[in-house]
Structure 1
Amino acid sequence: MLTRAVLQRFRVLTQHTNVAAQIGRSLYNLELTSAYRQLIGQCLYSSSVGVQYVTGHDKNERNKEEKENEKRLTATERLQQLDEQGLKRLKVLKLEYEVMQMREPEAVPENMIDEYWLEILGKNSYFARKRQYSFWVRKEKQRKSVEEKKRKRTEYVKERMAKVEESERNNEVGNRFLPRVSEAHMDRFYISKLANALLHQNPTLVLDMDYENYMSMREITNLHDQFWFLYGKNKRIQQPFNLVACSVNPVGEFMNRFKKVAKHMNFDSFYCEMTEKSYLDLYPRDRLVYLTPDSRKVLRYFDPDDIYIIGGLVDISQIKPLSFTKAKKQGIRMASLPLDEYLSWQKGSKALTLDQMIQILGEVMVSGDWKRALQYVPHRKVCNPLYGDQNDTEGNLSEEAADGLYLDEGNKAV
């Protein structure tokens, strides 16, 4: 609980700046919503210049051991530790959910688990909760669609097997001209490609997973889905990468979701290294290249000796140059894809998903043709996916590109 002296201090500060007024309102919400205070660590501090409002975890307030212990708690345990005000708010939110379910059954998910209630407790406005409900409804529809496809596939396989058995009993000769390639055969083929990539030391692609503190639960869920899309695309490209996920938080939300999927897998056939170490501890700094859309330096062609880094970041709510700032602070090279040279951008940010990035890099690595590689950019983001005459592709080194891999927008070597 906040003391009277602290409240009086912020009351004085609200008379000077608008920022302090926002802090006072946030303080009031934190005082009433204890569950929200448990989810998002906040620190309010004053200085000679003014007052700054800092969101996220605060290392000065709580030590590292207490944070890790809090992260290890499950959603059910966190709900059980709510105080009286938090339980009252949870009861009101459940009543609101029941009313919405009666009025608009399609606007809310059918089942609400403890993780969902914990997420809803962090939403202070009705519209924020409604958007979160609609997101879960879409996820439910996708899950039901996948289950329905699996059911139909199982029924189809049973019918086919029954027909084959019946034809064998009747001594009928079926179509044996083309051999049947099963999914198990294709999986073994893809796994062999990943094993050969590791054996022959194919180019390494690093995923920087050090952005979990900047993402919401919904964005972390999208990142988890994109990771598995990337892993599947890496098996199917012509020359797979050696995937390495660095700076992975072992007790974070991403790993919790990853373990739920991985418990049904055979790790002997999983070819992606997951490590808590940073890429600076694993690879020499002069070989690292951070791919960020905010860089002025353009990647002209793919160098297999370089180690390219992709930021594991999904920023739906706000777009900030986090990867650019991090790479600049660490003093490593940065580059962006030549999107403006081949595509006429229409809407949206130039940040691509993980699976789109690995498809583009895989095509450039094999063919060196940016025109073919950038076909994996979603067409909804561009006016004309392939406009202009691009006969002189950057896959063949030009005289300017021979001076250096990374050229700025004025075609000057850097």
Structure 2
Amino acid sequence: MAYSIVPNVRIVNLLIRTLRCSSYHTVVQKGDTKWSWMNMPCQWSQYRTLKLSSFLGTDDTKLDLDEWKTIMKSSDQNTAVEPSTEDASLVEMRQLVEMWRLAGRAVPESISTEKLQALMDLTSVSSRKKYLRSLSIKEKFKINERRKKQEFQKARMEHLSQLEPREETEPKNTMFLKFWSSSLDILHRWRLVQAMQFGQPLVFDMVYERHMSPWEIKNTADQLMMSEGFNRKAADPFHIHFCSLNPDGPCYKELVKLYSGSWENVLLTATEESHVDVFPRDQLVYLTADSPNELKKFDHNKVYIIGSLVDRSQQTGLSLANAKRLNLATAKLPLDRYLKWDCGAKNLTLDQMICILLSLKEQGDWKKALSFVPTRKHEGFVERRQSQDRFPRKAERYGKHVQGQFQEKPLVEKYKNVFGKQS
């Protein structure tokens, strides 16, 4: 008596994988009463016929190994062909981009899988349209730059072809050796090695990832890369620390992508630890524009902290609140004392901050250091005397005294009244 069973494909694949187990054969061969129901002969569906000789009552029928291999190969192919949920969603997103392109929207001509994944992470339709529009603008900008470069090279070759060839009979002679760019790179790296051993630390606080959008995080990574480049070329560089840097976070991934494989060779310290765990608290000074304290003099024994935050929505007070929570000293740059500030918040980019600090460290001149502030933000420097910078309290008292003299009557009228009373 044979039983006819017509299961679906998934149940068949699951049962076939189960039959591979050697313990299953052992249990059935021993004839355990609990597994006696499995000794029945089975007739599978018309598409997959499989006779199990080890479970049959007679020895007339044997297992067809070739048919077994064919069934197993077909099951593996079906498993490989089925797309995953992630691949299907990426395909749907690519189809959506293609549909928007046909509708006349600003989308890039080619988009990578990584950018599609970033597009999927955006929740609203408007944010996706803005992201695609920015990618389209960047793509057109790169195409125009490539075209201009090709035109410049073509014009240069035409200009060189029109020049008459010159024959130089006398050999060139010079008393100076050529200074190669590789030698300059070695010099910069040597200074960075010395700074990592004996130099003054400078901390970039990386705890603000959750307060930034993906575009702001990318902009932060760009500014950090520029800051590292300015520090590398300085005569007396800092020992840069990226504290509280999450290796699984988006900022770390952006930095690795920007350095394109050379991240491990960058001479700086990147750690998951907080700056309060690395340095003593009494040496830390948090630089924030919201601080009530003004930085009057650069201290070479302090460890200055810069918050790695690019905030286009102007969320004021984040870095100051973080410093107060950790009970750290805070300071702000004396922008009002030296600059005629025009308008807007007194927030500077990370690369501008490190240029100002490098200039203060090397020269100690606030006027030269604050020259890195963009001129669009101020109307120029405040004209101050040298004595006013050295003795600000005396200058303030002198200003009040002068103001009081000008409020009095002129000297002619004053002495006229005195002489009139005497006569």
Q: What is aligned with 2:171?
A: 173
Return closer, same or farther for 1:187/1:87 CA change in 2, 3 Å cut-off.
closer
| 3-state SS of paired residue (1:320) | coil
Question: Secondary structure of the equivalent of 1:324?
Answer: helix
Q: Which structure 2 residues correspond to residues 386-401 of structure 1 after superposition, within 5 A?
A: 386-389=381-384, 391-392=386-387, 398=391
- Partners of 1:145 and 1:178 in 2: CA distance: 41
Contact kept in structure 1, 2:205 and 2:244, CA below 8 Å: yes
- Structure 2 counterpart SS, 1:296: coil
- Per the TM alignment, residue 138 of structure 1 is displaced from its structure 2 partner at its CA by 4.9
Name the residue aligned to 2:244.
Answer: 247
Is residue 215 of structure 1 aligned with residue 212 of structure 2?
yes
Alignment of 1:184-195 (within 5 A): 184-195=182-193
Q: How far has the Cα of 1:353 moved from its partner?
A: 1.1
Residue 272, structure 1, aligned to residue 275, structure 2? no
Alignment length, in residue pairs?
A: 306
For 2:97, the aligned partner's letter is K
Tell me the residue number matched to 2:109.
110
Q: Which runs of 5+ in 1 are unaligned?
A: 1-78, 159-165, 402-414
Residue in 2 aligned with 1:372?
368
Residue 116 of structure 2 aligns with an amino acid whose one-letter code is W
What is residue 329 of structure 1 aligned with on the other side?
A: 325
In the alignment, the residues of structure 2 paired with residue 243 and residue 348 of structure 1 have an alpha-carbon distance, to the nearest angstrom, of 29
**How far apart, CA to CA, are the structure 2 residues paired with 1:311 and 1:212?**
11
The match for 2:235 is 238
Residue 350 (str. 1) matches residue 346 (str. 2): yes
Q: 1:336 to 1:182 in 2, by over 3 A?
A: same
The one-letter amino acid of 2:380's match is P
Distance, in Å, in 2 between the alignment partners of 1:260 and 1:335 is: 33
Q: What is the CA distance between 1:232 and its match in structure 2?
A: 0.6
Residues 370, 393 of structure 1: 8 Å contact kept: no
> For residues 212-235 of structure 1, what are the alpha-carbon distances to aligned partners after superposition, in whole Å with 9 as ceiling and x for unaligned?
111111111111111110011002
What SS is found at the alignment partner of 2:199? coil
Superposition RMSD in Å: 3.8
- Aligned partner of 1:113: which letter? S
1:122 Cα deviation (Å)? 4.7
How far, CA to CA, are the matches of 1:182 and 1:137 in structure 2? Answer: 39
* CA-CA distance at 1:335 after TM superposition: 0.7
Question: Is the 2:225–2:255 Cα contact (8 Å) retained in structure 1?
Answer: no
- The match for 2:10 is none
Q: Which residue of 1 aligns with 2:101?
A: 98
Q: For 1:184, give the aligned amino acid.
A: S
The residue type paired with residue 261 of structure 2 is H
Query: How big is the shift at 1:172?
Result: 5.6
Change in Cα spacing, 1:361 to 1:117, as seen in structure 2 (3 Å) is: same
Structure showing greater Rg: 2
SS, match of residue 242 in structure 2: strand
User: Equivalent of 1:203, from 200, 203, 209?
Assistant: 200
Aligned with 2:181 (options 176, 180, 183): 183
Q: Which moved more, 1:87-96 or 1:342-351?
A: 87-96
Aligned to 2:380: 385
Q: Deviations over 1:229-270 (max 9, x none)?
A: 0011002233211111100001111222222344532845x2
1:74-85 equivalences under 5 Å are 81=85
- Measure the CA separation in 2 of the matches of 1:178 and 1:149: 36
Say whether the 8 Å CA contact 1:221–1:254 is kept in structure 2. yes
Contact 1:249–1:276 under 8 Å retained in 2: yes
Once structures 1 and 2 are overlaid, which stretch shifts more, 251-260 or 299-308?
Answer: 251-260
Deviation at 1:381? 1.8
Query: 1:167 touches 1:174 (CA, 8 Å); kept in 2?
Result: no
> 1:142-188: CA deviations, max 9, x gaps?
66688789999999xx9xxxxxxx999x9762364554333222211
In structure 2, the gaps of 5 or more residues are: 1-82, 158-164, 395-423
Q: 1:267 to 1:261 in 2, by over 3 A?
A: same
2:285 aligned with 1:289, yes or no?
Answer: yes
Q: Hey, what's the Cα distance between the residues in 2 that align with 1:89 and 1:184?
A: 48
Alpha-carbon contact 1:226-1:353 (below 8 Å) kept: yes
Q: Which residue of the partner structure matches residue 3 of structure 1? A: none
Q: Percent identity?
A: 34
CA distance 1:276–1:174, shift in 2 (3 Å): same
Contact 1:360 1:374 in 2 (8 A): yes
Residue number in structure 2 paired with 1:319: 315
Q: Distance in 1 between matches of 2:244 and 2:263?
A: 23
Contact 2:196 2:268 in 1 (8 A): no
SS of the counterpart of 1:205? strand
1:324 to 1:150, Cα distance in 2 relative to 1, 3 A: farther
Alignment TM-score, normalising by the size of structure 2: 0.62
Relative to the length of structure 1, the TM-score reads: 0.63
AA in 1 matched with 2:199: N
The counterpart of 1:258, out of the listed 252, 255, 266, is 255
The 2-side partners of 1:400 and 1:386 are apart by 20
Higher relative CO (Cα under 8 Å, sequence separation at least 6) belongs to 1
